[in-house]
Chains A and B, each alone.
Chain A
Amino acid sequence: MKRFILPLGVFVALLGFLWVGLRLNPREVPSPLIDKPAPMFALAQLHEPGRVIGPRDMAGQVWILNVWASWCVACRQEHPVLMEMARMKLVPIVGLNYKDNRDDGLATLARAGDPYMVSAFDQDGRVGIDYGVYGVPETFVIDKRGVIRFKQIGIVTPEVVTGKLIPLIEKLNREPAHG
């Protein structure tokens, strides 16, 4: 009986590793940007190319940066959730229209609705690189001091909104803007 204990122990340990390891999502790479200042940018707006938008314009309030594109299929799935968030007026949502064609981006918003306060037009994806974007859609929650506090890689689901975003936004809204 004793001779089975060691192989059994090894087997159980292996099972434990697999149980945990196979449930991890390899696409969710922890972002080094959490708790770091949101990278600065000043991009032309999607709707009004003559005006710029950047994190500086959003200073002093909690806001969401959502990376999207007209070519991104998952973004279409996410879109109703963003519309609902905009309707709830949780916080302003700024769009980062990533590596898109201006006409396509505008057409998408005209057809499906525009949840964004404003969208920045990142045609060559350089701002995307600064934000470590690798899988659209991605969503950042940025606090009053301009620090990234949360990043969602992939679709923001209703569960993410109620389970993570709303509690976080409520907490961040209570934080002072300075200090």
Chain B
Amino acid sequence: MVKLFAVLTMSLALSAFAATDDATLEKRAVDLETELRCLVCQNQTIADSHAGLAVDLRREVREQLAQGKSEQEVLDFMVQRYGDFVLYRPPVRSTTWLLWFGPFLLLAAGAALLISRLRAARSRPADAPPSEETLQRARALLDNNKEQP
């Protein structure tokens, strides 16, 4: 009886262990699938897509992780076949510098333009005082206004 109990608990413990193992593998697979672009429907990850290719690539990801491959190895496998485009986050390399740093370049250009404009405005000489003639015209207009009801 004790023996049976021991066997039972052990098998229970083992199955629980296997279950958590499955859960971590599942999580790793899903995490990886959200990093990979579905090339059929290009604005979806293979985790979101129901395209036939996405289903196949999900199977590939799961099998390779189950075989004990690392995340990076699976990503390399995909890049070798489909190119950088398969990665949802494009890698930083010389061909993607404009993509990564272009917005900062634009920001810097805008800031430089703004600063130069502000400086120019500040260094402009103050307006000369209005001439006597202009002042008289202004006074006349104001007085005219007053007389009207």
- Known A-B contacts A99-B52, A129-B60, A134-B53; A29 and B39 likewise in contact (beta carbons under 8 Å): yes
Taking CB atoms, residues of chain A closer than 8 Å to B52 are: 99, 125
Query: Which of B7-15, B17-25, B81-89, B128-136 touches A?
Result: B81-89
**Which one, B40, B42, B60, B81, contacts A132 given CB within 8 A?**
B81
Q: A29 — nearest CB in chain B belongs to which residue?
A: B85
A26 located at the interface, meaning its Cβ lies under 8 Å from any Cβ of chain B in the complex: yes
Q: In whole angstroms, how far apart are the Cα atoms of A104 and B52 in the complex?
A: 18
Chain A interface residues toward B at CB < 8 A: 26-27, 29-33, 99, 124-126, 128-135
Query: Is there an interface contact between A31 and B42, defined as CB atoms closer than 8 Å?
Result: no
Q: Pick from B40, B57, B81 the residue with the most CB of A within 10 Å.
A: B81
Q: Pick from A129, A130, A131 the residue with the most CB of B within 10 Å.
A: A129
Q: How far in angstroms is the closest Cβ of chain B from A48?
A: 26
Query: Is there an interface contact between A26 and B82, defined as CB atoms closer than 8 Å?
Result: no
Query: Is there an interface contact between B39 and A32, defined as CB atoms closer than 8 Å?
Result: no
Query: Is there an interface contact between B79 and A32, defined as CB atoms closer than 8 Å?
Result: yes
- Known A-B contacts A26-B42, A29-B39; A132 and B82 likewise in contact (beta carbons under 8 Å): yes
Q: A131 — nearest CB in chain B belongs to which residue?
A: B81
B80 located at the interface, meaning its Cβ lies under 8 Å from any Cβ of chain A in the complex: yes
Query: Is there an interface contact between A135 and B39, defined as CB atoms closer than 8 Å?
Result: yes
B127 located at the interface, meaning its Cβ lies under 8 Å from any Cβ of chain A in the complex: no
- Known A-B contacts A124-B56, A125-B56; A32 and B83 likewise in contact (beta carbons under 8 Å): yes
Q: B85 — nearest CB in chain A belongs to which residue?
A: A29
Smallest CB-CB A-B distances: 3 pairs: A134-B39, A132-B81, A32-B83
Q: How far in angstroms is the closest Cβ of chain B from A138?
A: 11
Q: In whole angstroms, how far apart are the Cα atoms of A125 and B53 in the complex?
A: 8
**Which one, A26, A30, A32, contacts B81 given CB within 8 A?**
A32
